[in-house]
Homo-oligomer: A and B are copies of this chain.
């Protein structure tokens, strides 16, 4: 069973409604969820916040966190996930912000992706180093990990 189908069934069981807040994956997570017929029962909306302005305006990410920690940080991932629950009708939201590549820096290498998961009351964040797998593979790995985080959250 695909991750998205597992998630769909689980969300239905739990009565959960999902939102997504994506930067480097650019809509791949919402696309994967809505790939499954019947997803309208458990998916509310997705925020594809590619620019910093979009993160601030759509999700209420703070300029301070962007300046202090950068867009690829657990602080920003957490604010993205929290904002996605607040600015939607979802009960749970996942966020993804990372360096898909090509390129990176000494401080933030290609393949680093920060995730957040929020249920409104609480937010949890995590950083994964997928490594320099190439843009396409980093994005796919990040998409699948975001789906996995949602599944874990609802399990």
A residues adjacent to B (C-beta < 8 A): 20, 22, 24-31, 33-35, 37, 39-40, 43-51, 53-54, 58, 88-89, 101-102, 135-136, 139
Establish whether residues B37 and A135, one from each chain, have CB atoms under 8 Å apart when the complex forms.
Answer: yes
Option from B44, B54, B139 in Cβ contact (under 8 Å) with A35:
B139
Work out how many copies of this chain go into the complex.
2
Establish whether residues B88 and A37, one from each chain, have CB atoms under 8 Å apart when the complex forms.
Answer: no
Establish whether residues B101 and A37, one from each chain, have CB atoms under 8 Å apart when the complex forms.
Answer: yes
Establish whether residues A35 and B26, one from each chain, have CB atoms under 8 Å apart when the complex forms.
Answer: yes
| Cα distance A58–B51 in the bound complex, in angstroms | 17
Establish whether residues B34 and A45, one from each chain, have CB atoms under 8 Å apart when the complex forms.
Answer: no
17 new A-B pairs (CB below 8 Å) besides A35-B136, A47-B48, A48-B48?
A: A20-B27, A22-B27, A25-B34, A26-B30, A26-B33, A27-B29, A27-B31, A34-B50, A37-B101, A40-B50, A40-B51, A43-B50, A43-B51, A44-B54, A45-B47, A45-B49, A46-B46
